[in-house]
């Protein structure tokens, strides 16, 4: 029996699935994907077009595998150690803002704008073009924007996100192995790649507290639009609940959404003092009798007795020993039947490791290690965590609403 030729199989799959996507674009009179200046920033595939989204995911996955196969093991082992140096330089010297989208410029003009030698500018820009599709040079020496640099020059949120990733996250990753060697198996958030990259004995949040400008950038990074509710409104029986506490709930976006949808429930949002003060100032007047804000440190005993305690993207910021403390600090307030909901990603199983969503989850898992000695968790780790905190917690399971990023992980206090 002949063996399947994997590269031919992949190329056929790419062609078939790309046809599905292209047919959808043509039927709906949508523009073909492009990186030219006037290209759309997002592919216009609506959530309900699940077959098109699935085809896109298959193409991306297959292209990645085909590229690896045709690169070969020896070449794959080579590390591109200059990968993002040009992007960081472009952002540092504002070269993306040196001329307007729709116009052209020259290396000489960019040199005058930045006070960098023209040879340095030319090397930076050409490196960014060939490695990242930043800018275009369709005529020698004449530089125009690609859609990527046009987005950066116009969209401060996108620009800020890239700066944070390059200035804060990337150096921490470079130092992660050093941190693991220096502090083997540490669960402390001040014994990390981030701490080493900052020559500090403090953790990331304390370092940001000492650097307001960096803290502001970091805060704006996490203020970008997010599917905050992420299925929690439609996929949990809120009509059966009377009280919920949103622990570490920031400005209360989830609690407010729940209160808007379910008039039977009262919500308390807990976070640090400055955060809840700011959150309360945004609260719509018609919800002030059902949504309240309270300063509370979740490493201290919980003062509020409620039906549900909700944690959104909290536990992945902490190592196990601290997550156990968070759960144990709920115990003084818990009554039999009280529920704990943890709303965050779960690391995928082996059968899904090659999907784009799995790659994002695994990358985030390592990211939490390099920044905070924290982690994303696998399915089996959640019941174990509850049991380690207190045997009176009964793990009820986890489910992921269709189309959601986060899982709804639930346990009940048995008393």
Q: Which pair of tokens denotes residue 294?
A: 């309270």
Token pair for residue 396?
């009820």
Burial (Cβ within 10 Å: 0-12, 13-18, ≥19) of residue 67: exposed
Exposure string of 9-47, with b = 16+ CB inside 10 Å and e = fewer, is: ebeebbeebbeebeebbeeeeeeeeeeeeebeeeeebee
285: phi then psi, degrees, rounded to nearest 5: -60, -40
Tokens of 231: 């299925």
Largest Cα span, the chain: 74
Do residues 162 and 225 make contact, with C-beta atoms less than 8 angstroms apart?
Answer: no
Strands in 84-139 per DSSP E: 104-106, 136-139
d(CA 360, CA 342): 19
Give the Cα separation of 336 and 52 in Å (integer). 46
Q: d(Cα 163, Cα 90) in Å, to the nearest integer?
A: 10
The 8-class DSSP code of residue 291 comes to: E
Q: How far apart are CA 269 and CA 249, in angstroms?
A: 5
Chain centroid offset of residue 247 CA: 20
- Which position among 127, 145, 296, 316 bears the catalytic label? 316
Do residues 152 and 166 make contact, with C-beta atoms less than 8 angstroms apart? no
> Do residues 339 and 410 touch, judged by C-beta distance below 8 A?
yes
Per the annotation, the verdict on 316 as an active-site residue is yes
Do residues 345 and 364 make contact, with C-beta atoms less than 8 angstroms apart? yes
**How far apart, in whole angstroms, are the C-alpha atoms of residue 205 and residue 202?**
8
Pairing of strands 308-312, 243-247: parallel
**Which residue's entry shows tokens 């779960």?**
346
Half-sphere exposure of 124 (CA within 13 A, CB side): 22
Active site positions, annotated:
316
């Amino acid at each position: 029996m002949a063996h399947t030729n994997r590269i031919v199989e992949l190329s056929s799959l790419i062609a078939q699935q790309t046809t599905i996507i292209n047919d959808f674009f043509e039927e709906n009179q949508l523009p073909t994907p492009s990186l030219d200046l006037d290209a759309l920033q997002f592919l216009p595939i609506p959530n309900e077009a699940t077959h098109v989204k699935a085809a896109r995911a298959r193409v991306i996955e297959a292209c990645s595998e085909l590229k690896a196969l045709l690169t070969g093991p020896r070449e794959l082992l080579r590390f591109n150690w200059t990968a993002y140096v040009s992007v960081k330089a472009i952002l540092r010297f504002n070269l993306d803002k040196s001329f307007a989208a729709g116009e052209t410029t020259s290396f000489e003009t960019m040199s005058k704008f930045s006070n960098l030698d023209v040879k340095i500018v030319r090397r930076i820009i050409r490196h960014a073009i060939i490695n990242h599709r930043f800018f275009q040079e369709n005529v020698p020496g004449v530089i125009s924007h690609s859609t990527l640099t046009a987005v950066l020059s116009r969209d401060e949120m996108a620009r800020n996100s890239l700066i944070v990733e390059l200035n804060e996250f990337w150096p921490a990753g470079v130092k992660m192995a050093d941190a693991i060697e220096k502090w083997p198996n540490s669960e402390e958030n001040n014994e990390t790649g981030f701490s080493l990259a900052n020559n500090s004995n403090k953790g990331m949040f304390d370092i940001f507290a000492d650097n307001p400008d960096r803290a502001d950038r970091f805060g704006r990074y996490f203020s970008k639009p997010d599917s905050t509710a992420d299925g929690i409104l439609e996929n949990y029986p809120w009509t059966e609940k009377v009280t919920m506490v949103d622990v570490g709930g920031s400005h209360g976006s989830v609690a407010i959404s729940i209160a808007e949808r379910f008039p039977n429930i009262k919500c308390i949002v807990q976070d640090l003092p400055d955060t809840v003060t700011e959150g309360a100032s945004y609260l719509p007047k018609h919800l002030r009798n059902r949504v309240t804000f309270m300063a509370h440190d979740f490493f201290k005993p919980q003062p509020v007795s409620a039906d549900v305690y909700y944690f959104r993207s909290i536990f992945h910021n902490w190592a196990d020993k601290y997550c156990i403390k968070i759960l144990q600090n709920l115990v003084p307030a818990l009554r039999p039947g009280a529920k704990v909901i943890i709303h965050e990603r779960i690391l995928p199983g082996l059968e899904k490791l090659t999907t784009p969503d799995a790659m994002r989850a695994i990358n985030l898992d390592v990211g939490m290690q390099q920044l905070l000695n924290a982690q994303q968790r696998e399915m089996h780790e959640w019941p174990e965590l509850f049991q380690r905190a207190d045997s009176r917690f009964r793990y009820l399971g986890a489910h992921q609403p269709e189309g959601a990023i986060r899982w709804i992980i639930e346990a009940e206090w048995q008393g």
